[in-house]
Structure 1
């Protein structure tokens, strides 16, 4: 039986693996065990645990903050993956690491495929690409997952985009959303299931793992509100000002998964509709006050 180590288990991606890894031999490494200042200690921990598979869900996700604090972003998104890769190479463990479709950059109108060149436009995505390079250069067995526009998890998660849009729509008659930026709204639990499918298939390398279908941020938000049945009109709006020059096209297609016949990712709106209905049936939705809704949706 495979022995798993997971990092970043309390975040959006990490929590999605709780169900798919139920009943397996699993060790979670906490934040204080992942500091790059203690790289040798981290490698020694992996040596001691002797896992078959390391799933690295630990990451810095503040794209705007990375422009102002690139070192902190680099520590999590470039140096940590490199340290884990060296440990996995030494112990012959498979490393599963999560990157971003934003790394492709802004040079193509169509969805990106794995063979496309990488021209990241932000500090964050440059660091993510450095993390990919460190893994490849280590020579360890690896699965690098490029994904994006992730949603899911509990309402209390700080970056629960869908929950925040529901709260906003509940207390407004009209809202706007960026009609210029495009991507694949992707449910984290679908990603976890797809990753396990890749592992079970015995293939390695780099994979796009996104829901099928590229839409604008406006279409994404409109679908959230439509699924909720709330009486709020969503209208297309301009791009919002950002410090990070995020590519307007973060859309991708799962070309390698499709070529291998192992793409199980659904259409972008299927899981979204189900997830919205789950949130509307939750205790959190039924009990959140108007004051709290206004605070959370800010």
Structure 2
């Protein structure tokens, strides 16, 4: 299976690249320096040159709050670019896996969101990601849209790494406790992408939109507590993690109060289920806090 990856320099792109190499999957990764995904000519050349069995798009504008003041840039990357990639894939008959987000929902539902729930994004980021989904669907049938949420891992910038940094600097952290969701490790998303890609290339999958979130639900406060508690076993530092409300921590972009995703359809279709989020937190924290060769005794 030959995979072409757009967004190889992001936290998920780096995870997928590493996992593919470990699994012996032939993957060509393209970052922002290699191709401008908002340029139709550049996109066409990249897809045509790679001749992949499947294309994966993990590239995105993910600065949720900054998007409120940069709507045009967010729209170019999150809405226009996926459409361009999908159109070229459709023209070549190549399947596409595109990564989307829980932010297409408004967070008012009681219980986990399923794929057929109506979308109602709250801010620019969510609106542009929803537009990207629509563009992918409009281009052709052979696509998978995978919505995920609360993404973290060993690469890039994310909530878990921010908590580890703040735990070194402060004795008290205040974390929002009235937003809930499924923390999702990039390792699980990468595993899911490869599982879905393999079945799709073999003709054993089913095109459409799926949810791929971590297993289990918590709040940002609960997420932070788990991170700090486990890290403290290594660092000896366990600052207080105090709960606050969304109103106590205003942001330019409004967040969904409920980001819980029901991922059972993905599991039934592709045979993959993400690990319990607490397990992945342990693994990522241990990996990030492991001594380097120079530090090891």
TM over 0.5: yes
Q: Identify the match of residue 215 of structure 1 among 203, 209, 218.
A: 218
Aligned to 1:165: 163
**Structure 1 position 61, deviation (Å):** 0.4
Aligned to 1:94: 95
Q: Identify the match of residue 237 of structure 1 among 218, 236, 244.
A: 244
Instruction: Verify the 8 A CA contact 1:178 1:216 in the aligned structure 2.
Output: yes
**Structure 1 position 31, deviation (Å):** 1.5
**Structure 1 position 219, deviation (Å):** 0.3
TM-superposition CA deviations, 1:117-148 (whole Å, max 9, x none): 11111111111011011111111411111001
Distance 2:66 2:143 in 1: 28
Distance 2:45 2:267 in 1: 38
Instruction: Verify the 8 A CA contact 2:58 2:99 in the aligned structure 1.
Output: yes
| Structure 2 counterparts to residues 115-194 of structure 1, below 5 A | 115-154=116-155, 157=156, 159-194=157-192
Distance 2:94 2:225 in 1: 43
Cα RMSD, aligned residues only: 2.1
1:140–1:46 distance in 2 versus 1, CA, 3 Å? farther
1:41–1:170 distance in 2 versus 1, CA, 3 Å? closer
Alignment of 1:205 with 2:205, yes or no, is no
Aligned to 1:109: 110
| DSSP 3-state at the match of 2:117 | coil
Distance 1:34 1:121 in 2: 30
1:281–1:133 distance in 2 versus 1, CA, 3 Å? same
TM-superposition CA deviations, 1:59-79 (whole Å, max 9, x none): 110111111110100111011
| DSSP 3-state at the match of 1:283 | coil
1:255–1:42 distance in 2 versus 1, CA, 3 Å? same
Distance 2:125 2:28 in 1: 28
Instruction: Verify the 8 A CA contact 1:81 1:131 in the aligned structure 2.
Output: yes
Aligned to 1:256: 265
Aligned to 1:292: none
Aligned to 1:290: none
**Structure 1 position 33, deviation (Å):** 4.9
- Structure 2 length-normalised TM: 0.89
1:37–1:99 distance in 2 versus 1, CA, 3 Å? closer
Unaligned runs of at least 5 residues, structure 2? none
Instruction: Verify the 8 A CA contact 2:38 2:76 in the aligned structure 1.
Output: no
Aligned to 1:18: 17
The count of corresponding residues between Structure 1 and Structure 2 is: 283
Instruction: Verify the 8 A CA contact 2:101 2:148 in the aligned structure 1.
Output: yes
Q: Identify the match of residue 270 of structure 1 among 268, 274, 279.
A: 279
**Structure 1 position 37, deviation (Å):** 5.5
**Structure 1 position 36, deviation (Å):** 5.3
1:76–1:263 distance in 2 versus 1, CA, 3 Å? same
1:81–1:232 distance in 2 versus 1, CA, 3 Å? same
- Structure 1 length-normalised TM: 0.89
Distance 1:62 1:85 in 2: 23
Q: Identify the match of residue 255 of structure 2 among 216, 230, 246.
A: 246
Instruction: Verify the 8 A CA contact 1:207 1:254 in the aligned structure 2.
Output: yes
**Structure 1 position 182, deviation (Å):** 1.1
Distance 1:205 1:149 in 2: 22
Distance 2:72 2:218 in 1: 32
Aligned to 2:7: 8
Instruction: Verify the 8 A CA contact 1:173 1:233 in the aligned structure 2.
Output: yes
TM-superposition CA deviations, 1:23-46 (whole Å, max 9, x none): 333322232454355313321331
